[in-house]
Amino acid sequence: MTMMMKTLLILVGVVMIGLVECSSGAPLVPAMFAFGDSIIDCGNNNFLSSIAKANYLPYGIDFNGWPSGRFTNSRTIIDLLGEKMGLPYLPPYADPTTVGSRIIYGVNYASAAAGVLDETGQHYGERFSLSQQVLNFENTLNELRYQIGGGANLTRYLAKSIAVLVLGSNDYINNYLLPTLYPTSQLYSTSEFANLLLNHYTRQLLALHTLGLRKFFIAGVGPLGCIPNQRGTGQAPPGRCLDYVNQMVGPFNQGLRALVDQLNSQHPGAIFAYGNTYGAVGDILNNPAVYGFSVVDRGCCGLINLQRITCLPFSTPCPDRNQFVFWDAFHATQGVYAVLAHRAFVGPQNDCYPINVQQITLL
């Protein structure tokens, strides 16, 4: 099969799925609740005392031409997944207007610089760690009781809603790989650190289950050694990813996939699914032309010699944004998130284990 044929088949598949999604009026789930970091932050850090913010151009340049707090040029994978399920964009929890009817279809708790561990990203200032995001969700439940009623109504609503979690990257980039600021790399081997993360992650997943959620999609960590921030350390050969960093996240991803099996066996009334972010992003990086990309080793936003940072305020990004895999030194472009959302929604077991998001919504 030629590369052009592959590209055509992918585009046809996306169009057909879009037609199926648009054909039904009601959302596929009552609500979506998103927990994560800057990959899916939709503006929470705008309201926190943090230097990790995306509240200035060129962030959001393709999102109505104005920054929304999203760390990309337009929409995130959460926005795009929500569209596939017929949901409106989730409001950020920290926004004072996220009350009343605004929370009915779900809330986004994700916070830039946040990690599974409470201390991760602390050098950036305030952020909602995973444990704090779970507490914030509990606060939302108090408000939801007024909106939809308590008892059986709330129980059914939560059981049919979906939780999406995208965490772990910062625990490496903004913790383990910063030995001058965090002691974790001296205290733990890579496998021990992965187990530490998994233990903390498990506790918070079980807390969300106790609060009533029953459908979980948990994304793994992507190939961090390939992001411009890590390529820019000078440790990687020209045109190559930083292999030892990619290998470092392997035990965490493997453990997360195994955790899904464990949780499913222990909680038969719930479904936990693992998203193979590493494999999906790796496929894009290895076969960029198949997906319409041509630049994989630097960000669209930022200077060539400043590829280790986020976008500079009011800097001019590349005009051909659809050709770039990375938006800045850490985050992908909307084009990549569209591919990831599609694979999360309808992908086979290699992408989503044991089932994909669309299958989760049907349960």
What confidence tens digit (pLDDT) does each residue in 100-115 have?
A: 999 999 999 999 999 9
Average pLDDT, rounded, for the chain? 92
Query: Which of these, 29, 23, 28, 48, lies nearest to 38 by C-alpha position?
Result: 48
For residues 302 and 71, give the distance between their C-alpha atoms in angstroms, rounded to a whole number.
13
For residues 113 and 124, give the distance between their C-alpha atoms in angstroms, rounded to a whole number.
7
Q: Give bridge partners of residue 216 from the DSSP assignment.
A: 163, 272
Beta carbons of 254 and 261 less than 8 angstroms apart? no
Q: In what order do the strands lie in the sheet with 106-108?
A: 106-108, 32-36, 162-166, 215-219, 271-275, 352-353
Split at pLDDT 50, 70, 90, the class of 15 is very low
Domain that includes residue 199, residue range: 27-226+243-279+331-361
In this prediction, residue 18 carries a pLDDT of: 39
- Give me 304's structure tokens: 């060539």
Angle CA(77)–CA(82)–CA(83) in degrees, nearest 5? 100
Number of domains the chain contains: 1
For residues 61 and 300, give the distance between their C-alpha atoms in angstroms, rounded to a whole number.
12
Distance of CA 24 to the CA centre of its chain: 26
- Condensed to tens digits (0 to 9), the pLDDT of residues 51-82 reads 999 999 999 999 988 999 999 999 999 999 99
Strands 106-108 and 215-219: what pairing?
A: unpaired
Residue 124 placed within a domain: yes
216 has a pLDDT exceeding 90: yes
How many CA atoms lie within 13 Å of 128's alpha carbon, on the beta-carbon side?
27
Catalytic residue among 41, 171, 200, 331: 331
Query: Which of these, 335, 337, 342, lies nearest to 356 by C-alpha position?
Result: 342
Q: Is 209 part of the annotated catalytic residue set?
A: no
Residue 74 placed within a domain: yes
Strands 215-219 and 295-299: what pairing?
A: unpaired
Q: Is 331 part of the annotated catalytic residue set?
A: yes
Residue 82 placed within a domain: yes
Split at pLDDT 50, 70, 90, the class of 205 is very high
Query: Which of these, 253, 259, 277, 158, lies nearest to 215 by C-alpha position?
Result: 158
For residues 297 and 279, give the distance between their C-alpha atoms in angstroms, rounded to a whole number.
17
In this prediction, residue 14 carries a pLDDT of: 39
Task: Tell me the percentage of the chain whose pLDDT exceeds 90.
Answer: 85
Beta carbons of 116 and 51 less than 8 angstroms apart? no
Residue 8 placed within a domain: no
Residue 297 placed within a domain: no
For residues 114 and 50, give the distance between their C-alpha atoms in angstroms, rounded to a whole number.
11
In this prediction, residue 308 carries a pLDDT of: 64
Higher-confidence residue of 5 and 67: namely 67
Query: Which of these, 125, 67, 64, lies nearest to 92 by C-alpha position?
Result: 67
Taking every pair of C-alpha atoms in the chain, what is the biggest distance, in angstroms? Answer: 59
In this prediction, residue 19 carries a pLDDT of: 35
Amino acid at residue number 235: Q
The three-state secondary structure class of 171 is: helix
Split at pLDDT 50, 70, 90, the class of 348 is very high
In this prediction, residue 307 carries a pLDDT of: 63
Beta carbons of 40 and 71 less than 8 angstroms apart? no
Compute the chain's Rg from CA coordinates. 19
Catalytic residue among 37, 41, 328, 351: 328
What is the average pLDDT across 8-31?
Answer: 55
For residues 328 and 277, give the distance between their C-alpha atoms in angstroms, rounded to a whole number.
18
Residue 152 placed within a domain: yes
Catalytic residue among 38, 50, 129, 161: 38
Higher-confidence residue of 165 and 305: namely 165
For residues 61 and 196, give the distance between their C-alpha atoms in angstroms, rounded to a whole number.
38
In this prediction, residue 8 carries a pLDDT of: 33
Split at pLDDT 50, 70, 90, the class of 12 is very low
Residue 153 placed within a domain: yes
Higher-confidence residue of 307 and 188: namely 188
Residue 286 placed within a domain: no
The three-state secondary structure class of 33 is: strand
CATH number at residue 259: 3.40.50.1110
Split at pLDDT 50, 70, 90, the class of 322 is very high
Alpha-carbon distance values, 315 to 43, 57, 340 (Å): 20, 7, 27
